[in-house]
């Protein structure tokens, strides 16, 4: 189908998803939203009470997916880099 589900981990103490990628030929069909919604339903059924995800502020489609699924920004952070 062209979807890399990324990683769904319980290592953060609850449930976390990261690295979800949909092949360009299959984007804008709700595939990622459905996959992440299913993972959240599963996690809730397993008794988890918190879910986390992350990503760049430049990835507007994923920001929309996460907003649709009820995620909210917990805290803001910035990464600093320097060329040497």
pLDDT in tens, 10-69: 555 567 777 788 889 988 999 989 989 998 998 889 888 888 888 888 889 999 999 999
Confidence of residue 5 (pLDDT cuts 50, 70, 90): very low
Check residue 2 and give its pLDDT.
45
Q: What is the CA radius of gyration of the chain?
A: 14
pTM for the full predicted model: 0.71
Q: Sketch the domain layout of the chain as residue ranges.
A: 3-68
Within 13 Å of residue 71, how many CA atoms lie on the same side as its CB? 22
Distance from CA of residue 9 to its chain's centroid?
A: 11
Does residue 2 contact residue 39 with C-beta atoms inside 8 Å?
A: no
């Amino acid at each position: 189908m062209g979807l890399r589900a990324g990683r769904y981990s319980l290592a953060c103490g609850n449930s976390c998803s990261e690295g979800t990628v949909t092949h360009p030929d299959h984007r804008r069909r709700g595939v990622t939203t459905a996959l992440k919604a299913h993972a959240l339903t599963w996690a809730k059924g397993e008794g988890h009470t918190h879910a986390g995800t992350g990503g760049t502020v430049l990835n507007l489609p994923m920001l929309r997916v996460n907003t649709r699924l009820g995620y909210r920004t917990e805290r803001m952070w910035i990464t600093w880099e320097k060329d040497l």
